[in-house]
Amino acid sequence: MSRAMFRLTRDGAVARLTLDRPEARNAIAAAGWAELAHAVGEAGDARLLIVSGAGAAFCAGADLADFPVFREDEAARIRFRVEMRAALDRLRDLPVPTIAHIEGPCYGAGVALAMACDLRIATADARFAITPAKIGISYPQEDVHRLVALVGPGQAARLLFTAAAIGAEEALRIGLVELVGGVAPLVAAILANDGASLAALKRAIALGRSDAGQDWRFDALIGGEEAARRLEALRRK
Amino acid sequence: MSRAMFRLTRDGAVARLTLDRPEARNAIAAAGWAELAHAVGEAGDARLLIVSGAGAAFCAGADLADFPVFREDEAARIRFRVEMRAALDRLRDLPVPTIAHIEGPCYGAGVALAMACDLRIATADARFAITPAKIGISYPQEDVHRLVALVGPGQAARLLFTAAAIGAEEALRIGLVELVGGVAPLVAAILANDGASLAALKRAIALGRSDAGQDWRFDALIGGEEAARRLEALRRK
Amino acid sequence: MSRAMFRLTRDGAVARLTLDRPEARNAIAAAGWAELAHAVGEAGDARLLIVSGAGAAFCAGADLADFPVFREDEAARIRFRVEMRAALDRLRDLPVPTIAHIEGPCYGAGVALAMACDLRIATADARFAITPAKIGISYPQEDVHRLVALVGPGQAARLLFTAAAIGAEEALRIGLVELVGGVAPLVAAILANDGASLAALKRAIALGRSDAGQDWRFDALIGGEEAARRLEALRRK
């Protein structure tokens, strides 16, 4: 890649990660995944991260221009899988809320990127398709798992087996996005809440049924300064 | 608490657990959880339990008046967590169908109470919000797990991170309630069915993939008197 | 049974399994499950399998005429459970996409049959009910598990506890079917895709979070001939 395609900018407490390759509808080249992991690492001290695409697209998926190389070079295709996984999981593991703000096309690995965020909010013109079967490849196991967690095994099969594109309203109905509309009210609602609470709740969603550590976090927060301050503020209203 | 806030009444085979503190929109004081566990224990011989609130509210959540004490007293906050868990799990483990009938506000721990029931039916004016992040606290791990099981990880993140209130129709769409409407037809449909079947099916939903014990229960019911009686009744219709 | 009730036919790459007992709304007699397992075994070399019912019904469920025998004969009821399980799991494990095309009634074990397919597409007149509690029996543990995976524990409780019938639109809303409409476009979309991709993706949906074997399959497909051919075809368009 001649230049970086991920731009991390800050607006106060909010970090924004922009896929900035609009001439290719923000398709991600093989070299882009390490760049994404690096950009996510820079966002750690923000209170919230928004992921969105430049131009009128979220992400067209992995850049197909790299695929002839994958065919020739086994090391390159292993590196592709490993670096994509590392970047997506680094995003998933950020301790602050992450929002994918999806306009226009969101295809293939672009859906995996959106699913690595906690929340997905789409504009009315967003379109989603998961297309590996169309080009004779597979989809990473962890991302299939995340898809099943969001939409269930039946809709996962439908999306993966047909590779069909669906619109924002259908994505909302089946659970691939949580909201359709503008991102500003969502960001404002989250920023009004307590950061330590948000971190504990994000951890709780990621965990399974039982985790003793979460009990002690629950006790610590309920006995803390911030809870006292917020209760007092509520009482005065 | 000056008086009991949970009333358990009986109407034939149906037990009704009423949150009876309408002046506080049925907010549950710290001492109320042990009382709830006790009341649930009295309902064991009913065929079905309905949980609802007095006045035009289901439950405003945990009573915030107790929180200054939690800040001062570590033992009190641990007791709060443990007694809330014990009460909710005792409700969850009742061997008969349980229905949360939700009118008006259902907030914070009130949602955990509703999620401890098998089914949630809401009136059109019901409103739901899970608000720990608003007041700088967390939410019990098991209740986050139940939320994820009902609405998926994405909508769980949205509800927990924003603390936003949603109405009955949206709660229905995302899976936080199963029905919107009156509770009577639901109760009648369940009471028409066989109690031993209902107990086996409730157990089956709670269990994971495999459980050999369930196979023997399946065989026993299919060979039993009640199945014979019901088949004969069906044949005569 | 006087004659076979499952017919397996072929139309090019598509296998069709027809429940052909329209005079009983395709109710499945106890002896039918072994027949089903056999028919599924014949479909292994197709690229896709459609399961549907003759006449205007999908399947009325297990044939209740067998139930008096189950009461008398313990071996018969165990055989019923084991053979039903084996048939449904053989269908589930077919390595090609399977579609239940549901017209009219789909009740009891008919729902288990539909859930053993990857995808469920219903006509507008389809009706679904899971009725064991009505006749005093239980439902196989694995099929309850599949129901919970598709519709969540709350809607599973509602369907199992009430035994109520729901229509196609409601089945779509809660996730019991993935599509309402005609089956032809769905079949065409899947057949246009790569068979090795479909097999890998079907396996990925069935697996849990991590499976190292899937990584190597991912690498193999991305380096394969078929991916190269499909990419070249895409490039030419």
Which residue, among B53, B56, B105, B112, has the nearest Cα to B85 in the 3D structure? B112
Please say whether the beta carbons of A96 and A77 come within 8 A: no
Range A126-147 average pLDDT: 96
B182 by Cβ neighbours in 10 Å (0-12 / 13-18 / 19+) ranks as exposed
Q: Measured between CA atoms, how close is B159 to chain A, in angstroms?
A: 10
Instruction: State pLDDT tens for residues A142-164.
Output: 999 999 999 999 999 999 999 99
pLDDT attached to residue B44:
78
Residues of A in contact with C210 (CB under 8 A): 141-142
The pLDDT > 90 percentage for chain B reads 89
- Domains of chain C (ranges plus CATH)? 6-188 (3.90.226.10), 194-236 (no CATH)
Confidence of residue A88 (pLDDT cuts 50, 70, 90): very high
User: How far is it, in rounded angstroms, from Cα A128 to Cα A94?
Assistant: 24
Query: Is there a contact between C194 and C226 (Cβ–Cβ < 8 Å)?
Result: yes
pLDDT value at A90 more than 60: yes
Q: List the chains bordering chain A where 3 or more Cβ pairs fall under 8 Å.
A: B, C
Does C2 have pLDDT greater than 60? no
What would the pLDDT profile of B94-148 be if each residue is shown by its tens digit? 999 999 999 999 999 999 999 999 999 999 999 999 999 999 999 999 999 999 9
Residue B208 tokens read as: 């994971």
Residues 6+ apart with CB under 8 A from C150: A152, A153, A154, C115, C175, C176
pLDDT in tens, A162-177: 999 999 999 999 999 9
Q: Who has greater pLDDT, C46 or A213?
A: C46
Residues on chain B touching C163 (C-beta within 8 angstroms) = 189, 193
**Nearest-CA neighbor of B32 among B21, B48, B45?**
B21
Q: Do the beta carbons of residue A128 and residue A106 sit within 8 Å?
A: yes
Residue A2: its pLDDT value, please? 47
**pLDDT-derived band of residue C210, with 50, 70 and 90 as boundaries?**
low
Q: Which residues pair with A180 in a beta bridge?
A: A122
Confidence of residue B89 (pLDDT cuts 50, 70, 90): very high
The 10 Å CB-count burial string (b at 16+, else e) for A98-118 is bbbbbbbbbbbbbbbbbbbbb
Mean pLDDT, range B2-18, rounded to an integer: 90
Q: Shortest CB distance from C149 goes to which of A77, A153, A174?
A: A153
pLDDT band at A57 (very low <50, low <70, confident <90, very high): very high
Contacts of B163 in chain A (CB under 8 A): 189, 193
Which tokens hold the place of A82?
A: 């490993």
- What is the structure's pLDDT at C113? 98
In this structure, how many other beta carbons lie within 10 angstroms of the beta carbon of residue A93? 12
Q: Residue B210: what pLDDT? A: 64
Q: What is the pLDDT of residue A112?
A: 98
C65: nearest CA in chain B? B231
List chains touching B (3+ CB pairs under 8 A): A, C
pLDDT at A4: 80
pLDDT confidence of residue B124: 98
Q: What is the mean predicted confidence (pLDDT) over A103-132?
A: 98
What is the pLDDT confidence band of residue C138, given thresholds at 50, 70 and 90?
very high
CB pairs under 8 A between A and B: 144
Q: How far is B36 from chain A (nearest CA, A)?
A: 21
> What is the rounded average pLDDT of the residues B177-204?
97
- CB B74, CB B122: distance < 8 Å: no
pLDDT, position A210: 64
- pLDDT per residue as tens digits for the range B44-66: 799 999 999 999 999 999 999 99
Q: Which of A127-141, B169-183, C28-42, C216-230 has the lowest mean pLDDT?
A: C216-230
Rounded to the nearest angstrom, the gap between the alpha carbon of residue B68 and the centroid of all alpha carbons in its chain is: 27
Give residues with Cβ within 8 angstroms of A57, minimum separation 6.
A22, A25, A26, A103, A104, A105
Residue C213 pLDDT > 80 = no
Q: Which residue, among A118, A109, A111, A92, has the nearest Cα to A178 in the 3D structure?
A: A118
Pairing mode, strands A179-180 and B48-53: unpaired
Q: Which residues of chain A make contact with B148, given a CB cutoff of 8 A?
A: 205
Contact C144 B204 (CB under 8 A): yes
Alpha carbons C199 and C104: distance in angstroms, whole number = 30
Q: Chain A contacts of B139, Cβ < 8 Å?
A: 201, 204, 218
pLDDT of A134 > 80? The answer is: yes
Mean pLDDT of A80-96: 96
State the smallest CA–CA distance between residue C34 and chain A in angstroms. Answer: 26
SS3 of residue B48 by DSSP: strand
Write out the two tokens for B106: 């259902």
Q: B134 and A230 in contact by Cβ < 8 A?
A: yes
Q: Which residues of C touch A133 (CB under 8 A)?
A: 193-194, 197-198, 201
